[in-house]
């Protein structure tokens, strides 16, 4: 079986120099609400492929289901949402701030067509599970009838 190649769109965008990313990470650890980028974090993903389907698991703890967006077309999937920051008390300060808050987005471009009518998704204990059915090669082949003029 030949597996598909999945391209992560955000990896090709040229977000900024390594120096800019280091500065942003430094300020992010001082205050988790600080971010140079609109999309301040990326959830970790597992992608598992079988002959007839693709399973995607996204690790997004602390995100309410109502704050998740899932968009799918026949060649790509977009997972986006917002993780809201915990309230901060006035008489305290951060000693360590590693949890990232704010909006996130992951876009996966698929090299095989997906049956957009046959997608299921569930969210439990901070894990988003997405089942994508592949279209068979017969379903993507179109026959054209040739007529006499």
Domains contained in the chain, CATH given: 1-12+38-85+98-136 (2.60.40.790)
Number of neighbouring beta carbons within 10 Å of residue 99: 12
Q: Round to whole Å and give the CA distance between 2 and 5.
A: 10
pLDDT of residue 85: 87
pLDDT of residue 14: 45
pLDDT of residue 98: 85
10-residue mean pLDDT profile of the chain (149 residues): values are 50 49 57 52 93 94 92 90 88 85 92 88 93 74 59
Q: Helical H runs in the chain?
A: 18-30
The H or E element that residue 27 is part of is helix 18-30
pLDDT of residue 99: 87
pLDDT of residue 12: 40
C-alpha distances out from residue 111 to 23, 76, 92, Å: 35, 9, 50
Q: Residue 51 in 3-state DSSP?
A: coil
């Amino acid at each position: 079986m030949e597996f598909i190649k999945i391209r992560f769109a955000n990896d090709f965008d040229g977000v900024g120099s390594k120096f800019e990313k280091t500065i942003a990470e430094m300020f992010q650890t001082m205050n988790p609400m600080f971010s140079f980028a609109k999309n301040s974090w990326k959830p970790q993903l597992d992608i598992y492929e079988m002959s007839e389907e693709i399973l995607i698991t996204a690790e997004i703890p602390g995100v309410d289901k109502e704050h998740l967006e899932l968009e799918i077309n026949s060649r790509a999937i977009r997972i986006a949402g917002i993780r809201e920051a915990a309230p901060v008390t006035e008489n305290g300060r951060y000693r360590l701030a590693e949890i990232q808050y704010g909006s996130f987005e992951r876009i996966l471009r698929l090299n095989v067509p997906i049956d957009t009518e046959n997608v299921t998704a569930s969210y439990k204990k901070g894990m988003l599970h997405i089942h994508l059915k592949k279209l068979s090669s017969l379903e993507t082949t179109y026959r054209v009838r040739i007529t006499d003029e």
